[in-house]
Structure 1
């Protein structure tokens, strides 16, 4: 069968070079099980001009009993654990909870209209769909009270909020189609196993696909992330030649009976993972106006997804930092797109901005905050080499940024 990507010798020595600042490499509280995935940093200015601002960091907690650790710092280097957004027993009533069941992901805290709002991802306890929720507090250290219902549902993840100077807030998110297309592909191959040799060119990938579809009637009944882990090796076979695979599917569809054509088109539809943005109501609990598609995966390095976005305004332009490719391999990285307004259109840099190094793998889910002297700093997560994967520890790293007329560079 196909060898997993993080076990391939040729992928063990990434060639990209940058001096990532290593901020946190261990959990600061016993309730933190997985480190600093999807880090989001908020600067809270002090009322007194003589006092330094405080910084607050939130991070993903997956299925840990305590969700979303809150850390505090005065200098962005030394951090102290202060609380959880949702301590055990305080999670939203609508959200699934429990080991291997819940997925509390990608929290962001923002100060909007004198209240602190945390937007986050969790699974609906009935449908298991990923939804975007909201919790509010008068203090960045809590306690936070969740809204009774999600702000947005329907397999959506990675909420980001951009707050303009006039107070207008925009919610950015992505459709988590990369969670959908592998299942649609397995359905297609299970019903039409003869397509395996048409779609996969190497014996090991053909054997891998045959093995996965043999497991599929059982695997499709599992919890979402267990199902993902079983499909991961087949996902890697596809994204290794993603553009060619997508084009091959399109060509193959023209030669198939109508029901198979429709199934193929459905797979292709979900192989695109668009990001959207839409204005939020004044209280932040609902979307208003029309949604706008911001970007989707259309560059070779992004493979089957874009996700984990953050928008910052610099020099009268809007810079969208985002992650692409597969989070559990060393091919994951961070890209940049630029626009003249919050809703775009956004123009992508053609190559990734940050990639894996020999020391740190799969840099992703960036956030940007101004340091004590106003200098912009990008925070991100990354894995220890060879340790990428779901529920593996992710460290907190940082990269100072420099914005020029030509674009953005690591400072």
Structure 2
């Protein structure tokens, strides 16, 4: 069974070497994607007594097909409710390759009644497709519950870390992102003698009572901690970022989210960042604003979307700050421009109220009715804008960013 990848959105035609959101048109919340071996793998929230965590694979991060699930009904963790025939929450899996070459899926699961607490677990396999074997007990537990695990390999120090969220908002206490060193030399366990450190907690107005869904990367001289804030079930859910010079902090937060609701998609969040050949790409979920469930995602399927990530002044720019519905260059190919426009020559584009202009990496000027490229205030309809053709790819005229 193939998972559908969108070929067009509205009036936007998508050509070869481009893609359009969503990249997975199905209900795949909390997507965890990674490049392992010779392809990408993606796992997502979902499961019960019949098994857990659907898995997809792709050669280009855009076109996906099913390749099974992490746990079958017979291999569910014995400490989780599903293994006892109970309805059970299996949340937020992430797939990673460990330095040993083994593959690991970190996840959250709920214990059987009467406790019903949420814990962090891990399962490993020799192959990305599995079969996976859980370690037999939770990896992390907390009185306020532990969810949303992610793995980080710090190549500079040689240390590996587990990050997770304390589910404080479910217990009327602050939520926080925690970190602790891992030992994967023989399996996957918490490093002996290591301590738990708090990286961030909910302390900005836009975050509400929640910070969750952490994902950590290193770029240049900084560690960047991406996370989601607010409640996943409403349109205020969005992605934030904090940075630090040391993996354990202190972390400085960006004041505003880097990805928010807009352009027909709401509640973007729970992201990972993949280093694709064409540059960094954020993979995340969002739900169609007009879908059943109104302004909340409950009742609406959370689809998988992707955005190009660029870097300016030491901070990430995620697309234009809202989900992109127009065509984007393929994340898995860095195509060279075909120079249909002469580099160095200045071209004049006429501003319009009804049409936007998309300057593609091949030097093509394409009209689009996608609202991402509709002229906003600052460009007078009927006036002109000068653009200079360049010899390198990746130039977009974007009304929200106001830059190429």
TM-score exceeds 0.5? yes
Instruction: Report the alpha carbon displacement of residue 70 of structure 1 after superposing the two structures with TM.
Output: 1.2
Instruction: Report the alpha carbon displacement of residue 380 of structure 1 after superposing the two structures with TM.
Output: 0.3
- 8 Å CA contact 1:75–1:372 kept in 2: the answer is no
Deviates more, 1:384-393 or 1:106-115: 384-393
The answer to whether residue 282 in structure 2 is matched with residue 292 in structure 1 is: no
- In the other structure, the counterpart of 2:73 is 88
SS in 2 for 1:57: strand
Instruction: Report the alpha carbon displacement of residue 89 of structure 1 after superposing the two structures with TM.
Output: 2.8
Distance 2:112 2:74 in 1: 15
Deviations along 1:254-309, one digit per CA (max 9) or x if unpaired, are xxxxxxxxxxxxxxxx1x10111010123322244111110000000000110001
- In the other structure, the counterpart of 1:39 is 31
Deviates more, 1:273-282 or 1:100-109: 100-109
- In the other structure, the counterpart of 1:122 is 109
1:2-401 counterparts in 2 under 5 A?
21-26=21-26, 35-45=27-37, 53-63=38-48, 65-97=50-82, 101-112=87-98, 113-126=100-113, 127-154=115-142, 155-165=145-155, 167-181=158-172, 270=173, 272-282=174-184, 283-288=187-192, 289-373=194-278, 375-385=279-289, 387=293, 388-390=296-298, 392-401=300-309
Compare relative contact order (CA 8 Å, sep 6+) and give the higher one, 1 or 2.
1
Deviates more, 1:388-397 or 1:122-131: 388-397
- 8 Å CA contact 2:310–2:316 kept in 1: the answer is yes
Instruction: Report the alpha carbon displacement of residue 314 of structure 1 after superposing the two structures with TM.
Output: 1.0
Structure 1 runs (4+) deviating above 6 angstroms are none
Distance 1:281 1:391 in 2: 40
Deviations along 1:342-379, one digit per CA (max 9) or x if unpaired, are 21111000111111114111001010011134x10000
- In the other structure, the counterpart of 2:12 is none
Distance 1:178 1:62 in 2: 23
TM-score (norm 2): 0.68
Distance 1:361 1:143 in 2: 35
Instruction: Report the alpha carbon displacement of residue 391 of structure 1 after superposing the two structures with TM.
Output: 6.3
Give aligned pairs, total.
288
Change (3 A) 1:67 1:315: same
Instruction: Report the alpha carbon displacement of residue 340 of structure 1 after superposing the two structures with TM.
Output: 1.0
Distance 2:141 2:297 in 1: 25
SS in 1 for 2:206: helix
- In the other structure, the counterpart of 2:398 is none
- 8 Å CA contact 2:165–2:176 kept in 1: the answer is yes
- 8 Å CA contact 2:86–2:112 kept in 1: the answer is no
Instruction: Report the alpha carbon displacement of residue 167 of structure 1 after superposing the two structures with TM.
Output: 4.4
Distance 2:128 2:240 in 1: 29
Deviations along 1:27-66, one digit per CA (max 9) or x if unpaired, are xxxxxxxx21111111124xxxxxxx31111111154733
TM-score (norm 1): 0.67
- Relative to its length, the structure with more helix (as a share) is 1
Deviations along 1:207-226, one digit per CA (max 9) or x if unpaired, are xxxxxxxxxxxxxxxxxxxx
- 8 Å CA contact 2:180–2:190 kept in 1: the answer is no
SS in 1 for 2:169: helix
Change (3 A) 1:332 1:359: same
Distance 1:68 1:353 in 2: 28
- 8 Å CA contact 2:36–2:96 kept in 1: the answer is no
Distance 2:139 2:277 in 1: 33
- 8 Å CA contact 1:62–1:391 kept in 2: the answer is no
Distance 1:164 1:122 in 2: 26
Deviations along 1:169-200, one digit per CA (max 9) or x if unpaired, are 1010111011112xxxxxxxxxxxxxxxxxxx
Distance 2:248 2:303 in 1: 31
- In the other structure, the counterpart of 1:403 is 311
Structure 1 vs Structure 2 CA RMSD: 1.9
SS in 2 for 1:21: coil
Distance 1:372 1:65 in 2: 37
Distance 2:299 2:69 in 1: 18
Change (3 A) 1:392 1:159: same
SS in 1 for 2:248: coil
Instruction: Report the alpha carbon displacement of residue 168 of structure 1 after superposing the two structures with TM.
Output: 2.1
- 8 Å CA contact 2:49–2:86 kept in 1: the answer is no
